[in-house]
A and B are shown apart, each in its own frame.
Chain A
Amino acid sequence: MIGGLRFAAPLCAVERITLSRREAGWELEAAKSITANEPYLSGHFPSFAIFPGVFAIESLRQAVAYALGELEGSFPEIVSLRSIRFLATLLPGDTMSLHARIGPISAEKSFEVVARCVRNDGVLAVRMSVEFRYPGARHA
């Protein structure tokens, strides 16, 4: 389980992260159990709960931040959502598995992550291609 958040986030969006070294980068596996009592979920929607698609992006954000950790006091942040495809819904009771290929990290401290979120029934729910960067290296 992941400890307390150290940056603003709409929910604890990831549990059980594993990170493996793969050639120039990493491979990341993570999971998230979808429950109806998340902070924002009572409003999405009031009469029926659906895990907001953007929260899958948050899951990736948190998994990458916790897996790679701080650099000069900063966690890596999203600088570009190159391509996101939401293919199927996630509902309370579902478990989402996140599979991501990370890196390598460039000289500018940025890196690309390609990820898939798979529902526990095997259905591909989200595909993502996201660029992250450690903010200390952000161009003005």
Chain B
Amino acid sequence: MLEYAEILALLPHGHPMVLLDRVLSLEPGVCIIATKAITGSEPCYCNLPRGLATERYAYPVPLLVESFGQAAAILWLETVKSRPHREDGVLMLAVVRNYQVARNAYPGDVLRHIVHLDNIVGDNVIVTGETRVGDKLVATVDSMVAAARPRSVILERGNRGAKVGDPGGPPVVRPGQASGGSVATRIEARNREEMAE
């Protein structure tokens, strides 16, 4: 289990963009379960007029995705921590595929993200998973791809056309994982088709 202080030490994010509170379980290379408590004092609820209906306080879907993505980032960081060049790396969201919202989450709810690691291809990590409040499903995602990029590459003005989602080099498939039918290969093939539209 990781407490908030340890989450802060791991993620490059700072307040109020740290959208995780606790890691309940973590198996590097496999799975993470992490929670985030939604409260009405968060910035997304400021400046709203009085008298709005309950559903206007639904936690914004983009923040649900970000919170899930931060759980995935911790899973990735703990999976690759023995590898070189992680210090300078920032994990950027590259692809979201079929994220389905099942119900709204509200202030008072505790989100529980269950994230499974599908694959690591070069500097890209591919995860799948779901978010629940209690036993109720909030969202599921077929696949989310994040790409680790050095800060220098992200910020360099001369490199503004660099595509975050592109692998930094030739795709590397870990030993023991099928290359032809892997999720990553399928996703990359789909992405190429999409780009060619």
User: Hey, which bits of chain A sit against chain B, CB under 8 A?
Assistant: 4-10, 39-46, 48, 50, 52-55, 57-58, 61, 73-74, 77-89, 91, 119, 121, 123, 127, 135
Contacts and interface: CB of A to CB of B under 8 A. Distances in A.
17 contacts: A7-B48, A8-B44, A8-B60, A39-B16, A45-B12, A46-B12, A46-B13, A53-B92, A54-B63, A54-B66, A57-B62, A61-B60, A61-B61, A77-B61, A86-B165, A89-B160, A91-B155
Contact of A87 (B16, B62, B99, B164): B164
Interface stretch (B50-58, B75-83, B109-117, B168-176): B50-58
Interface residues of B, number: 50
Nearest to B64: A54
Given A10-B60, A58-B62, A61-B62, A43 B13 contact: yes
Contacts of A6: 48-49, 52, 56
Contacts of A78: 61, 101
Given A48-B151, A86-B165, A43 B15 contact: yes
Contact of B96 (A4, A7, A52, A81): A81
Nearest to A57: B62
B84 interface: no
Interface string B112-133: 0000000000000000000000
A4 B93 contact: no
Interface of B: 12-18, 43-49, 52-53, 55-63, 65-66, 69, 90, 92-101, 151, 154-155, 160-165, 191, 194
Contacts of A73: 53
A34 to B, nearest CB: 13
Contacts of A85: 94-95, 165, 191, 194
Contact of B62 (A46, A54, A74, A88): A54
A8 B13 contact: no
Contact of A89 (B49, B62, B101, B154): B154
Contacts of B56: 6-8
Given A6-B48, A8-B45, A88-B162, A53 B93 contact: yes
B17 A43 contact: yes
Given A4-B49, A43-B14, A88 B164 contact: yes
A96 B68 CA distance: 25
B168 to A, nearest CB: 15
